[in-house]
Chain A
């Protein structure tokens, strides 16, 4: 009898524990991600970005089937590529970022925020050598355009496209006139943008405002 009770007790326990485990795991995932995203928002140095990318990668490896950890790991690498001073290292870093972006894409499918990263990768490659603009310029604006068509209301697609256009010489179809008009679209979309969850991409507004303040004074009120 005692053994029988014990058995029942044990099975109830296991079942409830499992349910609890799942929600606890979810909680743990959300918390871990939120903590890292907070750090990412204020990161500045190559070392910080490297450590964040590593931490996101650890979560990605443990949470098979989640695209966000791969997304943020790739994003951290890209930010690192823009922070690195030794330009000869940039390609290696964005090659690595591309792998993580591809993994995110495998899980998430076509996604505006992922196309924004792809566009940023092309931008980082141009940073190495401006003569690459011929090759990567169309890719950078093409991916950003793709982001805006995939999700019209996503402000980061417009931010990336606007920024790309802003820094393209007027002769090549860029310039502040066209760029700032796109950045304004990004600003309008930030006003109403709601991320799908607290850990979905929700960056860029502050940066956008700094770009607008710096380059668009005559173009946007």
Chain B
């Protein structure tokens, strides 16, 4: 019925006696009725079922007519039903978390509709398979996370040292008298520490013979740590065996200050946070005098360790997505040690060290356009070690600048590409002074290094992912290029389990002490990794089994000695292999308030490198390594008690009385460390008091042996078949059998509210709002 006929009908129906105004009113009302949309329309019933691609029901989906209130939710069987007064063509949508939205047009005309809606699962990285071969991740966010940053700090025996905690993971081994992490048959220098994309030249405090070295950086500086025991991404290079990849913290959420006190050190930090800017400063002074006085020492300290360090950081949000971070640290440390000799009556060997280190890392992250993410990092380092051995100068200094730019973007929702480049300049200066000579020889080496990488991470499905990359590097000192392909694949095998495979070629420039000599003969040291891993993971339990084979090539070897025993040249003739398997189990659930993990590594390896005459198991590589880490939180006494037990099977060493090379075995290594942290508050400020003991049972651990001739002069390395009367043996032990630590940490949360930094006009706007 159209308007015209409606009005005509009206006139017909209205009796003539009625006044015009009455007619008008009636007419008005009638037309009004015509025009009211709903009244004459029919209701349409819409029902149906929401299901996934396999036909399984999806409960809780939101089905609606776009732009209206009409709609319904699917029930446990995926069924929904609702009615609508709308007419004509409308868009019907269906949505549910984790699924792609569904839209279709429907025509509503009173005829009931029955629909089957199929939702496609949205691609979600959090649920998808993760490449896990060769990598352990510690972070608060993200997927495949085995560790949280706090786990590092609370591991007994690690004494708050990042590398100490990583040493309890499978594949890693710490060697008491040498710095660094020894990973899968690789030497300590084959593990690199990378901060925000750039390798750090001096991640450890300067090494002192027989004194275990700690990492320079506090684990609290980093929001994420990836410990790769092999097969890592093409984004990184220059590490033959392993990479510790660290990401610095973003903006902290609150302003706070802290005080660190112990008989051997005192320190403070404070951080201020505004809307867009954060600033932190900290300093620490360490002096081991009291400790050395109280705890029996195996070595004589001619100067107690004394150190002063400070750090500064600055963060600024340059835009909604941009973040600039600057971190700078300075440290000054000195010590003196007199090493005993095995000859009675002979005074020891004096060693003294004075170290200064400066490290600055600046990074900038921003999203460019819509898709590209930029991460640019620049770093500078300066390190001097003034070393005197029996008053003979062995100082060294190195300084460098590094820069890196990385860009990444998604291609669709299942492919991510990354590309970037890295450049570094380093200068190494060494001073050699030979015994009995006044004159010192200085050597200086400049090295420039450049690298380019491209990598793609892709998901072929939710359960099959891959990462393929290519890295090319150039070393100026070697005047050579290399090309390193990397490939990883991961396939889900069940709800919680997956298999991963990785292959990669890794290059490392020979260490600077070799580069000055025989550069013509030297090439990049090279390793090929093949890794297979099976992992089962739930939020509370993780089990991993990993096997690997590595082939080493072009390792640096020492060629010839002159009559005084000085090395004349080096070449790249070394090689070797390492193979083995590892087990890891972590459980946070089975025992109340207990978190524990077990790592076991079996390693078979041989190599010929440096001054090794034949291919053997190197002296740093133990065949079996076992770590048990146990942490028990006892709420009643607000304490966490932890214990870590580490076992390493006997490591080889060479005895000059032997005919065969590296045939002797040092005793097995055992260490049981315990710690206790007590949470309390002092005048309302959160306080932790901690106490730790390493090597509680007092096992006499021997790292290795040094050999001297009967007059007390050190013997050259690797002599054969000496008569027992021609040499004297000296066992290398840690400076103290047991080591103790007691300290407290007080935190002051600033109660002041974050400052309102918005423009006054914006603030005013807020106030007039209802």
Contacts and interface: CB of A to CB of B under 8 A. Distances in A.
Contacts of A142: 253-254, 754
A177 B71 CA distance: 48
B766 A61 contact: no
A134 to B, nearest CB: 6
B681 A171 contact: yes
Nearest to A134: B150
Contacts of A51: 60, 73
A47 B60 contact: yes
B254 A170 contact: no
Interface string B748-764: 01000110000000000
B62 A173 contact: no
Contact of A92 (B64, B97, B150, B769): B97
Interface residues of A, number: 49
B718 to A, nearest CB: 50
B667 interface: no
B254 A171 contact: no
A17 B35 contact: yes
A60 B59 CA distance: 21
A108 B73 CA distance: 27
B472 to A, nearest CB: 38
- Greatest chain B CB density within 10 A among A2, A54, A128 is at A54
Contacts of A92: 97-98, 126
A28 B85 CA distance: 14
A57 B97 contact: no
Given A57-B62, A145-B753, A196 B770 contact: yes
Interface residues of B, number: 47
Interface string A196-214: 1000000000000000000
Contacts of B3: 6, 10
Given A139-B253, A142-B253, A171-B679, A87 B539 contact: yes
A6 B60 contact: no
Contacts of B60: 47, 50-51, 54
Contacts of A58: 62, 64, 68-71
Contacts of A173: 681, 684-686, 749
A9 B34 CA distance: 13
Contacts of B67: 61-62
Interface of B: 3-4, 7, 27-28, 31-32, 35, 59-62, 64, 66-73, 75-76, 97-98, 126, 140, 148, 150, 253-254, 539, 638, 679-681, 684-687, 749, 753-754, 765-766, 769-770
Interface of A: 2, 6, 9-10, 13-14, 17, 28, 32, 47, 50-51, 53-55, 57-59, 61-62, 87-88, 91-93, 96, 108-111, 128-129, 131-132, 134-135, 138-139, 142, 145-146, 149-150, 169-173, 196
Given A138-B253, A171-B687, 15 more contacts: A13-B28, A50-B60, A51-B73, A54-B60, A61-B64, A92-B97, A93-B97, A109-B766, A110-B766, A138-B749, A139-B253, A146-B753, A150-B766, A171-B679, A173-B681
8 contacts: A13-B28, A13-B31, A51-B73, A93-B97, A109-B765, A134-B150, A170-B681, A171-B680
